[in-house]
Amino acid sequence: MSALEVVPSAAPRSRRRGIPRVSLGYVGIAVILIITVVAIFAPLISPQDPNAINLLAAKQGPSSAHLLGTDASGRDLLSRLIWGARTSLLGPLLVVVGGTLLGVTVALVAAWRGGIVDAILGRCIDIGFAFPGLLLAIIASAFFGAGLVAPTIGLAIAYTPYIARLTRSVAIRERRLPYISALVTQGMSSFAICIKHLLPNLAPFILMQATLTFGFSMIDLASVSFLGLGVQPPTSDWGLMVSTGEQSLLQGSAWESLFAGLMLVITVGAFSTVGHWLEGISERRLSR
Amino acid sequence: MLRRLVFLVITLLGASIVVYGALFLAPGSPVAAATQGRSLSPVAVKLLEQQYGLNKPLVTRYVDWLGGVVHGDFGSSIVFSEKVGHLLTPRLAVTFELVLYGAVILVLFGILLGTLAALRGALDKLVLFISTVGIATPSFVGALVLISLFAVKLGWFPSLGAGTGVGGRIYHLTLPAIALTVAGTMGVARVTRTSVILELTRDHTDTARARGIAPGGVLRRHVMRNAMVPIATMSGTVIANLFIGTVVVETAFGLNGLGALLVSSVLDKDFAVVLAITLILATAFMVATTVTDLLALWLDPRLRTEGTR
Amino acid sequence: MSDELLRIEDLSIDLPIGGEPRTVVSELSLAIGAGEAVGMVGESGSGKSMTAKAIIGLLPRGARTSGKILFDGTDVLGLRGAELRRYRAQSVAMVFQDPRAAINPVRTIDDFMTEALRDVRGMAAPAARAKAVELLTEVSIGDPERVLTNYPHELSGGMLQRVMIAAMVAQEPRLLLADEPTTALDVTTQAEVITILARLREQHGMALLFITHDLDLAGAICDRTAVMYAGGIVEEQGSAEINEHPRHPYSAALLRCRPSLSQQGGRLAAIEGQPVAAFEAPAGCRFAPRCEYAQDACRVAVPALRPVGGAMVACIRAEELGPLTLLDDTPVAINHATPRQPAEETTPESAATQALVTVTDLRKEFALRGGGRFAAVEGLSFTVKAGGSLAIVGESGAGKSTVARMLMGLERPTNGTIMAMGEDRSGPAHGRATRLRRASQIQMVFQDPYLSLDPRQRVGEVLDESLRLHKRMTRDERRTRVAELLEVIGMSARPAASVPAQLSGGQRQRVAIARALAAEPRLIILDEAVSALDVSMQAQILNLLTDIRERTGVAYILISHDLGVVNYLTEAIIVMRRGEVVEAGDTGTIVTAPTEPYTQRLLACVPRPGWTPPARQPLALSPTAPSA
């Protein structure tokens, strides 16, 4: 009845919160794109060999020879940061892809089938919640040995229940909308409805979750690296660089930790900005 | 309530089986860790294995271990040659104090910042920016920034160690607690801001205004009261995660807590210790989330009715 | 009106919509006397709710106003801070449309009822509580002590609205604003709430501004009625007079287009086009594009509201047209010759094959939370013939939608059989062929046009998808058929490219009907299919449904709570209450001479010209029992 009268009261709110988010969202996307391109073309962009040791040029500040300075072994920091983007992005990407595929599948099955299937999957999800991400990543390192693979698998498993639980609740809400019932009464198969209608309408939400998860798992993986349980030296990785830079930092040369930490903050910040921007979009979609 | 408790115990049991099984199937022999690279005669190895019960089948060992845990005995550390219980007791205090300190900071500042952002339009953008940066800051990066600024440059706080006495403890734990909670505080601030803004525009808030209730009353009894539900849920979840976050922060600040010990034990393959700490942290995490759920139930009567099914 | 309480002078309201200020109320003037009840009637976007919000100072952020709202001579638009609070606390109160949203869900009814008394009046807790109990008794709540300890979600909608009214009256306002307070309620509950509202107004000497979309409802409770269209008042008259002799073409059209308890079949005198907001309206008279009396002169300037024959009318032809008549002189002729059973005797088939759907002893149980079972539908039997029509009528919780869902295979019956077109539909559809055959035979149109279309799909795709499922057609054939279907529902080919968000509610419901038609079903189930629409849209859709039946011979099962709509569209009725059949039979007979007390009460509660809510009868539910 009052569809039109709803709009005005929502309008000032979305103006207050929506517009800065939109522009910030684009900034975030731009940052993510730039870092991704740098990571992909690292061999072409990197000015020097990231692993070339030069003890004579150790712990230097930024100069024309080394734009961002050097680490304790005299390796070029800019080159290490560029190569580090690869490992630092690859891990979270695998976590997000794995966790989302698994989580969304579980969520859709649970939401669509309902009843006993939903109850069983729901219990599994609850049990999964007992394992916080970082703890599982550390245990995985203990199990498989340190490296990129073990913590990544651990995190993917740890994030699956989170993704599944949130997606399930949104999917159940969407499934109850009459347009889905309308499609059932059209005689369309469950699978087709899920793939052609339900999933596309959940897409903004799933994308939002994936983006936020990317940021979180990046922090987790960097933390594992920082603890020495993740990527092993001499591979370039931002989390590892913060850790190896700690010694220099205590001696007054903060460059390595500073730049690596900054890259982490900027990248995760970009992902969470885009995530919150998408959250606004999917909320508006869902609160139709 | 009872069902939650039973579920908690069952989940922990399941978790312990998985972790126990996984750790003992892992490549790399614990004996090698205990001998620290020295080569031993096969007889000596046998003796060691017997001493730590490594020659029995897995299931027997698990049952033995579980029996011990029930009596408060977590087995012995191979590396430290000491009862795990003795090893953990002093460290337990450091970790829990750190989390408690962090939780206080988190709740106070998170809610304060978020509410200010929601109510004072001028601060909104600033808080939004700070929270974006804060959420994106890994605790170890925060730790290093704090150390280099307040410990190395200014010398206001110590960079290492946990301190002694109540005052000394608080003094020593301040930087670690801040580093531990930077992201969480900002997360709580964000949720607070969103929920307060949402409740401000709700119909029931309008009803209260329409009845001539003073802004303070509207804010307290309608806006904040209702926003407390998501805020409490978020705070509880974040606090639960602080237990795991201590692993990183304790390592960064050289604190002798559970977390730091977990890392060194994983590297040393000191499984009895890894197991014990994992279970303690997982238990703390689950208890915290369960308390959070109960808190939400208490705050929101609608959940109570649904919860009884 | 010697004793004037409220005077609105040239009120205009601009709201920021899409980032730009848009006018939603335009130069509105209205006066309310002390103790007087004024109805404000209009469709979506007419600006009636915003006017009420302006009176109590609750316009959304960013709203801009001009003009004056004088309460006892003070301009309330200028009030701020403590003055505004004092005005709200002592002078006005507002009852909102949806009490479930308007009452804080996490606090008890006690808190809600006594908050303002303690906080604003400074009453002590026991005194405030005693007053709350007294007022809850006044609004006919049987066990006030217990209700005070409840939370809002533990009460039914009707109960909550009574709590709301009691809480507002507790503040002893001099003016009560009621914004569609009964729109979300069942008719019998609506009648009760209206009775209570009228009684309380009298006892407490309050003035009332009653906002509604129903002229008859306004007539039942108000002394005067103002009809709004696109942000302005087009007519203002005594409530009884306006219902008999409207003077503005819009008021007349609103009254004519309603399906009533006295009209069966034929065509409704629908208003062309759709209602608009002030900022969407053209220059000149805002109603001109939809007005059957419009002339070129109407499109020049907005006509002023001026006295014409005892009424206030904003129409330049008011004197010339005089009081407008309602039924006899309707410009669109009612086609009484319309056969109500078009498929009748066209094929000499036996009665058995003529029965499209036969439902026998249908029962559906649901498991209750916390154990136990409850029967949503119990012992239901009926037959629908080819080309026939049946209405299933009842209030919320009657189980009528469950019946629809079972017929569609969305729910499975616990007991009983559903035979449709020679096939037992009680069980699940195994295999694609069965599923599609069943779907193509019976289609459904849902209540909410905003939610029953996939928001991502364009109109053309919606129809194309249905054709691909049910018809073996080439792409070109489908394209031609989509155009035909759009033609049938009265939409040109252009909207084929629009997504639902770009369409109005009425247009969306047309698309949903076209989608149902695409499968060429023999039966369409209309689940409250016109309930969510504005009155003028509703008439258009009902006419469309009549046309479609004449053209295709499709049968309808109409699920509805609106007896006017039921009477217009169907030839047989089943009245349900709490899952059981109360009365069944021929529509004309039941509407004119119901035998069961429940049906009688239901009919007595339907607003109509000159209607007053019936006195409570012993049959009514006990007041504390949640009715849903």
Nearest to C51 by CA among C286, C72, C38: C38
Q: Which long-range contacts (CB under 8 A, 24 or more apart) does B14-17 make?
A: B14/A127, B14/A130, B15/A130, B15/A131, B15/B279, B15/B282, B16/B66, B16/B69, B16/B275, B16/B279, B17/B62
Q: Which two tokens stand for residue C242?
A: 């306006």
Alpha carbon distance C534, A2 (integer Å): 9
What pLDDT, on a 0 to 100 scale, did the predictor assign at position A171? 92
Alpha-carbon distances of B129 from A259, B64, B124, B125, C597, rounded to whole Å: 20, 53, 9, 6, 66
> Which of B95, B135, B233 to mutate to probe the A interface, most A CBs <10 Å?
B135
Q: Which two tokens stand for residue C166?
A: 């009691």
Alpha-carbon distances of B93 from A42, B88, B99, C91, C205, rounded to whole Å: 46, 9, 10, 61, 69
- CA closest to C457 among chain A residues: A197
Q: Show Cβ contacts of residue B6 under 8 Å, excluding neighbours closer than 6 positions.
A: none
Alpha-carbon distances of B42 from B29, B33, B47, C247, rounded to whole Å: 14, 15, 9, 111
Per-residue confidence of chain A (288 residues) as pLDDT tens digits?
333 323 333 333 333 444 444 577 888 999 999 999 999 998 888 888 877 777 777 777 777 777 777 777 778 888 888 998 998 999 999 999 999 999 999 999 999 988 888 888 888 888 787 778 888 898 888 777 788 888 999 999 999 999 999 999 999 999 989 999 999 988 898 899 999 999 999 998 999 999 999 999 999 999 999 988 888 888 888 988 888 887 777 777 778 888 889 999 999 999 999 998 888 877 776 554
The three-point CA angle A271-A275-A279 to 5° equals 175
Q: For residue range A58-84, list pLDDT tens digits in order.
A: 777 777 777 777 777 778 888 888 998
State whether A1 and C213 contact (CB < 8 Å).
yes
Name the one residue in this structure whose structure tokens are 């003992």. B24
Inform me whether the C-beta atom of residue B279 falls under 8 Å from chain A C-beta atoms: no
Backbone angles phi, psi at C78, to 5 degrees: -90, -5
Q: Enter the ipTM.
A: 0.83
Alpha carbon distance C71, C68 (integer Å): 10
CATH of domain A73-286: 1.10.3720.10
Q: For residue range C419-478, list pLDDT tens digits in order.
A: 888 888 888 888 888 889 999 999 999 988 888 999 888 888 999 999 999 988 889 999
Whether the predicted pLDDT of C2 surpasses 60: no
Q: For residue range C234-259, list pLDDT tens digits in order.
A: 999 998 888 888 999 999 998 888 88
Q: Which residues of B touch C97 (CB under 8 A)?
A: none
Q: Which long-range contacts (CB under 8 A, 24 or more apart) does B80-83 make?
A: B80/B270, B80/B273
Q: For residue range C412-427, list pLDDT tens digits in order.
A: 999 999 988 888 888 8
State whether A139 and B278 contact (CB < 8 Å).
yes
Alpha carbon distance A138, A157 (integer Å): 13
Q: For residue range C127-140, list pLDDT tens digits in order.
A: 999 999 999 998 98
State whether C115 and B208 contact (CB < 8 Å).
yes
Instruction: Judge whether C352 and C344 are in contact, CB under 8 Å.
Output: no
- CA closest to C44 among chain A residues: A2
Name the one residue in this structure whose structure tokens are 């039921």. C566
Instruction: Give the one of A143, A229, A264 whose C-beta lies nearest to B138's C-beta.
Output: A264
Backbone angles phi, psi at C232, to 5 degrees: -140, 160
Q: Which two tokens stand for residue C266?
A: 């034929």
On whether the pTM is more than 0.90, the answer is no
Q: Which residues of C354-382 are buried (b: 16+ CB within 10 A; e: fewer)?
A: bbbbebeebbbeeeeeeeeeebbbbebeb
Instruction: Give the one of A3, A11, A188 whose C-beta lies nearest to C44's C-beta.
Output: A3
Q: Which two tokens stand for residue C567?
A: 């009477």
State whether C446 and A181 contact (CB < 8 Å).
yes
Q: Which residues of A touch C454 (CB under 8 A)?
A: 179, 183, 197, 201
Alpha-carbon distances of C558 from A225, C115, C148, C438, C535, rounded to whole Å: 65, 45, 39, 19, 18
Q: Which residues of A touch C409 (CB under 8 A)?
A: 184-185
Which run of H or E residues covers position C311? Answer: strand C311-313
Q: Which two tokens stand for residue C4?
A: 């004037």
Alpha carbon distance B182, B202 (integer Å): 31
Going from N- to C-terminal start, the domains of chain A cover 73-286
Per-residue confidence of chain B (309 residues) as pLDDT tens digits?
677 788 888 888 887 887 777 766 665 555 555 555 556 677 777 776 666 666 677 778 788 888 888 877 777 787 787 888 888 888 998 899 999 999 999 999 999 999 999 998 788 888 888 998 999 999 999 988 888 888 877 878 877 776 777 777 888 888 999 999 999 999 999 999 999 999 998 999 999 999 989 889 999 999 999 999 999 999 999 999 999 999 999 988 888 899 999 988 888 878 788 888 988 888 899 899 889 989 998 999 888 765 433
Inform me whether the C-beta atom of residue C86 falls under 8 Å from chain B C-beta atoms: yes
Q: Which residues of A touch B286 (CB under 8 A)?
A: 130
- CA closest to C429 among chain A residues: A187
Query: Exposed, middle or buried: residue C320 (CB in 10 Å: 0-12, 13-18, 19+)?
Result: exposed
> Which of C55, C58, C61, C104 to mutate to probe the B interface, most B CBs <10 Å?
C104
CATH of domain B89-308: 1.10.3720.10
Which residues lie across from C442 on neighbouring strands? C523
Instruction: Give the one of A127, A219, A269 whose C-beta lies nearest to B132's C-beta.
Output: A269
Instruction: Judge whether C288 and C298 are in contact, CB under 8 Å.
Output: yes
The three-point CA angle A221-A279-B236 to 5° equals 60
Cα separation of the two ends of chain C: 43
Q: What mean pLDDT do residues C69-75 have? A: 91
Q: What are the structural domains, with CATH classification, of chain C?
A: 4-91+173-253 (3.40.50.300), 358-604 (3.40.50.300)
CB < 8 Å from C in window 4-43 of A: 4-5, 7-9, 11-13, 15-16
3-class DSSP state of C367 = strand
- In chain B, alpha helices (H): 2-25, 30-35, 42-51, 58-70, 84-119, 121-136, 139-146, 165-200, 203-210, 215-217, 225-253, 258-268, 271-299, 301-307
Backbone angles phi, psi at C44, to 5 degrees: -55, 140
Instruction: Judge whether B17 and B264 are in contact, CB under 8 Å.
Output: no
Q: Which two tokens stand for residue B2?
A: 């009872």
Instruction: Judge whether C558 and C565 are in contact, CB under 8 Å.
Output: yes
